[in-house]
Amino acid sequence: MLSLCLCSWEIMKMVQSSLPSMYLYRRHWPHCSKVSVREQYAATRDNLGSHSIGGFLEHFSRANHFCRYCEVDRDTFMREPHLCGTTRTAQSYQSHLQDLKISDTNSVCGIKSDSPFNQLGHFHVCQPGLPPCLGHDTV
């Protein structure tokens, strides 16, 4: 798992473009000084950071679609807080991005932009590439 602590979208794009050639130095393997990173399985952050790197809206208190795991809207959630909405998938994410391109709004179903991490092979922010925040979601 690659844990990222990024401060801006531009830095994240630079990291994404260099991932195929990034090397990790291993202290535990003195005979092997470099290990090539081939795949990313998850990006760990707190909820705000995960929403940011995933291309989701970050203002949880006002967003109509505030969940990065399902498409429940705020009104439905307020009426039935234990109800889970339709699970987000890579296909639904792409569909919402297409709708966003032709709409006059800044987001569609809680998605404001594509994540550069979706360009990596075998990774998508909806498969689930953005695990829950242990400090916020499990307390």
> Exposed, middle or buried, 127 (CB in 10 Å: 0-12/13-18/19+)?
middle
Query: 49 Cβ partners below 8 Å, 6+ apart?
Result: 5, 6
Q: Residue 88 has what pLDDT?
A: 94
Range of the domain at 48: 2-137
pLDDT tens sequence across 62-108: 999 999 989 999 999 999 988 889 999 999 999 999 999 999 999 99
Question: In angstroms, rounded to a whole number, what is the distance separating the alpha carbons of residues 115 and 130?
Answer: 11
What does the block give as tokens for 98?
Answer: 């297409």
Q: Residue 123 has what pLDDT?
A: 81
pTM greater than 0.85 (yes/no): no
Q: Residue 53 has what pLDDT?
A: 85
- Which amino acid does the sequence have at 25? Y
- Domains identified in the chain, total number: 1
Question: In angstroms, rounded to a whole number, what is the distance separating the alpha carbons of residues 126 and 103?
Answer: 22
pLDDT tens sequence across 17-45: 655 444 433 344 445 444 444 554 455 56
